[in-house]
A = this chain, B = another copy of it.
Amino acid sequence: MEDSVGAFVTNGRFRIEGASGGPLAGLTFAAKDLFDVAGRPTGGGNHDWPRHRPLPTRHAWAVQTLLDAGATLVGKTITDEVSLGILGENPFDGTPVNVAAPGRVPGGSSSGSAAAVAAGLCDTALGTDTGGSVRVPASFCGLYGIRPTHGRLDLTGMMAQAPSSDTTGWFARDAETFARVSAVMLGEAIADALPTRLVVAVDAFGLADSETARALRPAVEALSRLIGEVREETLAPPGLAAWARAQRTLQPAEAWQTFREWVDRDNPRLAFGVARGLLQGSMIAESERQWATLVRLEARARVASLLAPGTVACLPTTPFPAPPTGLSLSEQQPLRDRITALTCPGGLTGLAQVSVPAATVGGLPIGLSLLGAPGTDASLVALACAMSRSGRA
């Protein structure tokens, strides 16, 4: 199938057949170019990344798991440079087309994986999510997407960014495929039992555009009917701005530790905005990092108390649908800030999060996110399936 949306990296179309007779037999998948595929360079969205690295000799755990389950790998997809980006514009490899929102960004950093699934070039695709890199493109492209509980999956063969927040996620166009893939990746059956209490995160809805919050209302109502008990609560008592600030302290500081030696040795080519992000990470004071660590502890405690067993929270995945491509850096900045305010709970606390395609705003898709305590991934997937059956997602 032709790469009609520019989702795959150069020389990134190939085919590795899945094991026969597995639970994912008949499905095709793509892997973000942050995952190792044996014998092929892991590009990392940066032309200087593979330069001094040996070719991987083994598939990444996530790739091997899908192949073993019978899915067929059809290629490697474009990512924001070294996973540092949330909009999905990569000036070196190109910006994958978002078929659900033409002229708009696909979201990043798992841009090509989302674009490929949205365009029907494969059934599912692997992404990574550190600060929102699966959830944001899922929302912008109208897909199901998951950021699993931090630390649950084996990240072997996945390029790191900020290890205390890094996760492997995946996308699908429909709930049934999403559940099949999730069962394999999570190693857990997707049972029918649903959460019994719903928390509507009022602070998160308050940060969304009013049109977006309004468009998501029917989906929230459908969710309420499925679950029964509903209450409105503030997700982040100190403010999502405080949590976002903590995430934007810890993640860039860690990313700098991950990339500093490479940057010094290879002086890599990067878009200015990406280089700036790395440098800002290098300049974070230890006192700021300590403050952010304390905020993270508090956020984890908050999530543990709010998301008691049987409780799920919902919030807009992104505060608005996909912005136009080609914005200037200063136009992008406030958008990035607001996106991070909604995505930060994931990276900060390690909870499980599933984004379901729940509405459109002016014809553009927008996701509703289901948040659960660490370990409740399968239950969130089950809820997404139930929403789909109810006609709301």
Q: Which residues on A are within 8 Å of B, measured CB to CB?
A: 48, 89, 91-92, 263-273, 275-276, 278-279, 328-330
Contacts and interface: CB of A to CB of B under 8 A. Distances in A.
A89 B92 CA distance: 19
B91 A265 contact: no
A270 B278 CA distance: 13
A44 to B, nearest CB: 14
Given A91-B48, A279-B276, A279-B279, A268 B267 contact: no
Contacts of A263: 272, 329
A267 B330 contact: no
Nearest to A271: B267
A218 to B, nearest CB: 37
Contacts of A271: 267-270
A93 to B, nearest CB: 11
Contacts of A264: 328-330
A269 B48 contact: no
Contact of A268 (B265, B266, B272): B272
Contacts of A330: 264
Contacts of A329: 263-265, 267
Contacts of A92: 269
Contacts of A272: 263, 267-270, 275, 278
Contacts of A328: 264-267
A357 B273 CA distance: 41
| The 3 residue pairs across chains A and B that have the minimum distance between CB atoms | A275-B275, A265-B328, A264-B329
Given A264-B330, A267-B273, A270-B270, 5 more contacts: A265-B328, A266-B328, A270-B272, A270-B275, A272-B278
